[in-house]
Structure 1
Amino acid sequence: MGVSTSTPDKGVALVTVDFPPVNALPVQGWYDLADAVTAAGRDPGTRCVVLAAAGRGFNAGVDIKEVQRTPGHEALIGANRGCAAAFAAVYECEVPMVAAVRGFCLGGGIGLVGNADAIVASDDATFGLPELDRGALGAATHLARLVPQHLMRTLYYTSRTATAAELHAHGSVWKVVPSAELDDAALELAVEIARKDGYLLRLAKAAINGIDPVDVHRSYRFEQGFTFEANLSGVADRVRDTFGTNGSTSPRQEDTQ
Structure 2
Amino acid sequence: MTVSTSSPRDGVAVVTVDHPPVNALPVKGWYELADAVRAAGRDRAHNAVVLTSAGRGFNAGVDIKEMQRTEGHEALIGANRGCAEAFAAVYECEVPVIAAVHGHCLGGGIGLVGNADAIVATEDATFGLPELDRGALGAATHLARLVPHHLMRALYYTGQTVTARELERHGSVWALAPDREALTEAALELASRIAAKDGSLIRLAKEAINGIDPVDVRRSYRFEQGFTFEANLSGIADRHRDAFVRTEGK
Question: Is the partner of 2:197 in helix, strand or coil?
Answer: coil
Question: Is the partner of 1:6 in helix, strand or coil?
Answer: strand
Count how many residue pairs are aligned between Structure 1 and Structure 2. 249
Q: Spell out the pairing of 1:122-137 with structure 2 (5 A cutoff).
A: 122-137=122-137
Aligned-pair CA distance for 1:240: 1.6
Q: In the alignment, what sits opposite 2:175?
A: 175
Q: In the alignment, what sits opposite 2:95?
A: 95
Question: Is the partner of 1:243 in helix, strand or coil?
Answer: helix
Q: Spell out the pairing of 1:225-244 with structure 2 (5 A cutoff).
A: 225-243=226-244
Q: In the alignment, what sits opposite 1:48?
A: 48
1:103 and 1:190 mapped to 2: Cα distance?
21
Aligned-pair CA distance for 1:145: 0.2
Aligned-pair CA distance for 1:54: 0.1
Moved more, 235-244 or 37-46: 235-244
Give the RMSD, CA atoms, in angstroms: 1.3
Q: In the alignment, what sits opposite 1:39?
A: 39
2:65 and 2:80 mapped to 1: Cα distance?
15
- Identity among equivalent positions (%) equals 77
AA of the residue aligned to 1:233 = S
Q: In the alignment, what sits opposite 1:249?
A: none
Structure 1 segments of 4 or more deviating over 6 A?
A: none
Q: In the alignment, what sits opposite 1:216?
A: 217
Question: Is the partner of 1:59 in helix, strand or coil?
Answer: coil
User: Which runs of 5 or more structure 2 residues have no equivalent in the other structure?
Assistant: none
2:244 and 2:24 mapped to 1: Cα distance?
15
1:62 and 1:125 mapped to 2: Cα distance?
19
Task: Tell me the TM-score normalised to structure 1 length.
Answer: 0.95
Q: In the alignment, what sits opposite 1:111?
A: 111
Q: Spell out the pairing of 1:156-195 with structure 2 (5 A cutoff).
A: 156-180=156-180, 181-195=182-196
Aligned-pair CA distance for 1:243: 2.6
Aligned-pair CA distance for 1:177: 1.0
In the superposition, relative to structure 1, how do residues 15 and 254 fare at CA in structure 2: closer, same or farther (>3 Å)? Answer: farther
Aligned-pair CA distance for 1:254: 4.6
Q: In the alignment, what sits opposite 1:17?
A: 17
CA contact (8 A) 2:65 2:245 kept: no
Q: In the alignment, what sits opposite 1:81?
A: 81
Task: Tell me the TM-score normalised to structure 2 length.
Answer: 0.97
Question: Is the partner of 1:224 in helix, strand or coil?
Answer: helix
Q: In the alignment, what sits opposite 1:248?
A: none
In the superposition, relative to structure 1, how do residues 196 and 254 fare at CA in structure 2: closer, same or farther (>3 Å)? Answer: farther
User: Which runs of 5 or more structure 1 residues have no equivalent in the other structure?
Assistant: 246-251
